[in-house]
Amino acid sequence: MSRSRFLIPGAAVVMVVVVVAGLAFFGKIPGLNAASRQEKQLTNALDAIALTSPDFAVAVLDKANDRDFSYRGSERFDTASAVKVSVLACVLLHAQDEKRELTAQETARAKRMIQASDNDATTALFTEVGEVDGLTACNKRLGLKETTVDKAWGLTSTTADDQARLLGNLVDSGSELTVDHRQLIFDLMETVNDDQNWGVPSVAKQGEHAPVKNGWDTRSDDHNLWVVNSLGRIVSEDRETNVSIVVLSHGDKSLKDGIALVEKVAAATRENLKY
């Protein structure tokens, strides 16, 4: 009887195991380096949180160390007011296309939309950029792949991975948005009203910058449960820490509970990824 060419002699198996074990000990094979161990530890920590929590997803983009991480990153969530970052980016793209600065009215609305999460200002700017079709076109230019814009802009559905792509675009020198416009977005996000300065900024250390835009909403057709989201960055003055973080959640019983969950997840990323 002929031996299958896919079978490996027992001695060879033993040798392979010994070699792999040795390489693993010295950290020479993929998946066993420090970064991979950190990601595994974070996944375990998030699994533990998920056992007693509503649905959530998180994505992290560490620009300083050229690494990324996501957990349930392709699951879909409503954006609520987190979509306002995309709306502002779209307003700025349109202004660039028209080779002009923002008007005084656009500037005022942008400030109210991001700093105070003003819905009327958002609706006006959403209409200005062309509503569903206009924002969808802008999202494509900004690299988003998994976001579906709704005519009721707060019901736009997205993923943590896609919102991380948006934040990644805003720190990318290859972005269609100019440096000044990308900085404007972060300047507004860093000066949100005090009552909205939660979520990602909760894990910032003293002296670090923590721009953020949060989203929260509750709907009667979802048993009055809450959507609570946080999009932000943690950036040190020396840029040794330069991390974008997205935490999305739904099914929270209250806004307070949702904020606590978002901040717990963000803290787990910092603790385990060591940024």
Tens digit of pLDDT for each residue in 55-69?
999 999 999 999 999
Report residue 220's pLDDT band, with 50, 70 and 90 as the boundaries.
confident
180 to 64, 108, 121, 127, 154: CA distances (angstroms):
21, 17, 22, 24, 27
CA–CA separation, 48 and 231 (whole Å): 22
Residues 6+ apart with CB under 8 A from 211: 186, 187, 188, 189, 190, 232, 233, 235
User: pLDDT digit string (tens) for 154-180?
Assistant: 999 999 999 999 999 999 999 999 999
- Token representation of residue 19: 């070699």
User: pLDDT digit string (tens) for 22-43?
Assistant: 444 444 445 469 999 999 999 9
Give yes or no for residue 136 having a pLDDT over 70: yes
CA–CA separation, 260 and 121 (whole Å): 28
- Token representation of residue 13: 């198996």
pLDDT for the residue 32: 61
Read off the amino acid at residue 221: D
- Give 161-199 as a 3 state SS string: HHHHHHHHHHCCCCCCCCHHHHHHHHHHHCCCCHHHCCC
> How much is the mean pLDDT over the chain?
91
Lowest mean pLDDT among 12-21, 28-37, 91-100, 156-165: 12-21
Of 144, 148, 145, 113, nearest to 128 by C-alpha is 113
- Token representation of residue 238: 């020396």
pLDDT for the residue 18: 43
CA–CA separation, 162 and 72 (whole Å): 12
CA–CA separation, 195 and 21 (whole Å): 52
- The residue-averaged pLDDT of 197-213 equals 98
pLDDT for the residue 222: 87
List strand residue ranges (DSSP E) for the chain, in order.
55-62, 67-71, 76-78, 157-159, 212-218, 226-235, 242-252
CB 20 within 8 A of CB 29: yes
DSSP label at residue 209: B
Estimate the crossing angle of helix 131-141 against helix 84-97, to 10 degrees.
80
CA–CA separation, 52 and 58 (whole Å): 16
